[in-house]
Structure 1
Amino acid sequence: MKSVIYFMVLFLGSAYADMAGECAMVGFYLEMACTPVPAADNSTLCPDAFDCPDLRISPDPNTCYYKGASYKTGSPFPQSVIKNPCTMNCGCSTDYKGVPQFTCAAVDCVDAEGFGDCILTHEVDACCSTGTVCGKDAIASLKTCEVDGVIYKEGQIIEPANTRKTCVCTAQWNGRYDDPTSCRDLDCAVEIHFQDMIFSKCAPVFFANQMGCPVSFVCPTEKTKVIRGLNARGVTAQCFYGNMTVNVGDQVTVEEKCTKCVCDVPPYVSCTLKNSCDD
């Protein structure tokens, strides 16, 4: 019986990982090792909520946390556990307030998208470009990949629609996003860059949709209010926003006029930064 349950957990985890580019907040939660709570009708569609280890932890003032594991200040942090190639040489330290945080080496890519008769080329596990191809004939001889109706040259970065993948066009491109030689999962390293915000139960802010990386977090203030909404899905799980408990469908007010924050997929309130908004 245990083996059957274990298989089902693996199956659901894989299914949700595949939906990370289609379901709001799935990629955000899976990156933090949160466990999906299936929809009330037991379907394998977008989960209703998640159970997150960070919310079960009473933070130690001398400890950093990543994917449920703890790292004391001053202790080494293995690069192998980080799936973001632009987040390197991290360690746990304390800031000027004595708050534990991850500090990482700054990766400064001076790349431009292209210049003159040259294009930059990339490798799937590299943060910055790794080469250059110059000259019309040389560029014309490169293999091409067509994704979402766009033609890419060999070595160019591809961000397929409705996925949490970053790919590179290769000579062996087979059109499959699960090929590790061409694609990798998008990893935002949110716990590394926003640990204090996560433990404070602040809300991640996304640009346009909630499938990419959060651009910032917004925390409650004394002026924050809850605007009651409709819980159309009948979700019993609730969101936490600071010390507040918010029902699914409820909005919370924030000072940023172009940002809308709502409890949609607990346990975190999530916010969307609009392309434009009324004054």
Structure 2
Amino acid sequence: MSCPRNQALFGGLLCFFMVVLTVSSQGCDKSKCKGPIRYYEELGCKPNIKDGECCASSYDCTHLKNRSAHKCYVNGQEYNIGESLRNEDRSGPCDVACFCNFGYDKAAEFTCAQIDCPRIPVHQGCFLRRHLDSCCNEEEVCPKQNEKIEECSFNGTTYKHGEIFYPNERKMCQCSKSSNDDKKMEVVCRTLSCGIELRRSTELRENCPPVFLPHQLPSQSCSYEYKCQEDMDKVKSTSKSTGGNSQSREITDAMKCKFGNITMNIGDELSQKENDNVKCVCEVPPMPTCTKN
């Protein structure tokens, strides 16, 4: 972006700030931000970002507190007990026969069919072919010698027709025939959902944070394990959480984490019990960030 030289002072300052904001937004890598960002985004929480900063200091998830325990919720939609999940609200092709049902403690939750896809061994020189919208329907393809298999190229890597691949933790892609010309090949991708509201409604109600594995980025990853409050859980305050100086400052509820019925200030950590390999720290409220050691 460039600015004309013959501008008034105000116009020049405005142009300067536009350049700064443009450069700042281009250099913002959300994957480096702290906190379970993908979790917040999927739940529709709103980020609180200070001017000029890349990462949110907290997220507003207050809309979750207004939900009825006798209804199911997903993608901003409300379901009554006994109502079946609509196709547009499915998180993936394996969400089959889902409906809103009474679950733990008589609270509403989605119940879905349990699907266990068989593992197909892939022999050397072969690959698995399936459709993006299929759950378990896949086949092993073993090209014959000198047989030409149509291919696609994506970010410098070649994939065979029907092959599924994951360029990152948020997308699943497939090399397939073009929808406009079946003589051409193209890469088709769809965004992956963590399915939090479908599978973790109890944890949401009880303020149980997601737990991430050591190799996962909480900002980008789905969690398949959650940590709920136990009787012996306590908060271990740090100098960072108490401010580190004698100046008193007001800490609003928006800048605190909630773990079960325990309130944590930023920097607070849950005391780890013996043989507990999960570390939980309040970094970006309202949920503590929990990772396995």
> Is TM (by shorter chain) over 0.5?
yes
The 2-side partners of 1:268 and 1:80 are apart by 28
Q: Which amino acid aligns with 2:209?
A: A
Per-residue Cα deviation, 1:142-170 (whole angstroms, up to 9, x for no partner): 314354x7554332222224x52222234
The 1-side partners of 2:112 and 2:146 are apart by 38
Q: What SS does the corresponding residue of 2:64 show, helix, strand or coil? A: helix
Q: What is the aligned-residue RMSD (CA, Å)?
A: 3.2
Please, what TM-score do these two structures have when normalized by structure 2? 0.72
Work out whether 1:153 is the aligned partner of 2:160: yes
Q: How does 1:139-178 map to 2 (within 5 A)?
A: 141-147=149-155, 151-161=158-168, 164-170=170-176
Are the aligned partners of 2:129 and 2:138 in contact in 1 as well (CA < 8 Å)?
Answer: yes
The 1:265–1:75 alpha-carbon spacing in structure 2 relative to 1, beyond 3 Å, is same
Match among 194, 199, 207 for residue 201 of structure 1? 207
Q: What SS does the corresponding residue of 1:141 show, helix, strand or coil? A: coil
The 2-side partners of 1:53 and 1:138 are apart by 60
Work out whether 1:126 is the aligned partner of 2:134: yes
The 1-side partners of 2:104 and 2:227 are apart by 21
Corresponding residue number in structure 2 for 1:81: 89
Work out whether 1:28 is the aligned partner of 2:47: no
Per-residue Cα deviation, 1:76-116 (whole angstroms, up to 9, x for no partner): 22121223222222111113642321101223221425235
Tell me the CA shift for residue 242 of structure 1: 0.9
Q: How does 1:166-245 map to 2 (within 5 A)?
A: 166-170=172-176, 182-207=188-213, 208-209=215-216, 210=218, 211-229=220-238, 230=240, 237-245=255-263
The 1:220–1:158 alpha-carbon spacing in structure 2 relative to 1, beyond 3 Å, is same
Tell me the CA shift for residue 271 of structure 1: 1.0
- State the 4+ residue runs in structure 1 displaced beyond 6 angstroms: none
Per-residue Cα deviation, 1:138-195 (whole angstroms, up to 9, x for no partner): 7763314354x7554332222224x5222223466xxxxxxx9611112010111110
Tell me the CA shift for residue 252 of structure 1: 1.3
The 1:215–1:47 alpha-carbon spacing in structure 2 relative to 1, beyond 3 Å, is same
Match among 76, 100, 112 for residue 108 of structure 2? 100
Identity of aligned residues (%): 30
Larger-Rg structure: 2
Q: Which amino acid aligns with 1:34?
A: C
Work out whether 1:272 is the aligned partner of 2:291: yes
The 1:33–1:137 alpha-carbon spacing in structure 2 relative to 1, beyond 3 Å, is farther
The 2-side partners of 1:267 and 1:96 are apart by 24
Are the aligned partners of 2:269 and 2:280 in contact in 1 as well (CA < 8 Å)?
Answer: yes
Are the aligned partners of 2:96 and 2:113 in contact in 1 as well (CA < 8 Å)?
Answer: yes
Work out whether 1:57 is the aligned partner of 2:66: yes
Q: What SS does the corresponding residue of 2:167 show, helix, strand or coil? A: coil
Q: How many residues align?
A: 246
- Unaligned stretches of 5+ in structure 2? 1-24, 179-185, 244-250
The 1-side partners of 2:38 and 2:149 are apart by 37
- Unaligned stretches of 5+ in structure 1? 1-14, 173-179, 275-279
Tell me the CA shift for residue 56 of structure 1: 2.5
